[in-house]
Amino acid sequence: MPIAFVTGNASKFQEITAVIPGIVQLNLDLDEIQGLDPKIIIEHKLSQAATQHDGDIIVEDTSLVFNCLGRLPGPLIKWFEQSLSNTELADLVSRFPDHTAIASCTIGYRPQGGSPVFFTGSVTGTIVPPRGIVSPFGWNNIFQPLGSALTYAEMTIAAKNTTSMRGQAATQLQQFLSQSHRI
């Protein structure tokens, strides 16, 4: 049975399968608990998904920390985006001297009947006024990774995967799965 990536976001699935071909997308309605620790959020999602699906499962949680706001919004970025537009988020950060941010993605993998294993990728960047296409990744058009002249929204999936936090975490997972002969 192929490994199932639990997500309703086709673009996230496309990014992950570019690194880990052969997994399948599984769209389950899972509760998303709130907190600042992505591992706790993911562990809850994995436990829930395991009650609805037999087999190996992958879930992920993406965070965006504005350094000027301490640990916020972090995993709460989804809720910030529901209240503020990207223009408003960028404007909020522009009011502080520090415009840097850390984007991170934690992927949880749970083999059927096993314990979760976590893989995290992080990228430091700058929050900029929106540039590029509006994507299903919300804040991609305001996050410009350090060393790049482009926001994530201005990059192709292949280019983004070489530098993105999701690409890093997916690569770590792919290596783990290969070493443990799961793929």
Domain 4-179: give its CATH code: 3.90.950.10
Tens digits of residue pLDDT in 72-100: 999 999 889 889 999 999 999 999 999 99
Please name the residues in contact with 131: beta carbons below 8 A apart, sequence gap of 6 or more: 141, 142, 144, 150, 151, 153, 154
Q: What is the pTM of this model?
A: 0.91
At residue 34, what is the residue type?
Q
| pLDDT tens sequence across 17-45 | 999 999 999 999 888 888 889 999 999 99
| Residue 24: CA count within 13 A, CB half-sphere | 10
Hey, what's the torsion of the CAs at 57, 61, 62, 66, to 10 degrees? -160
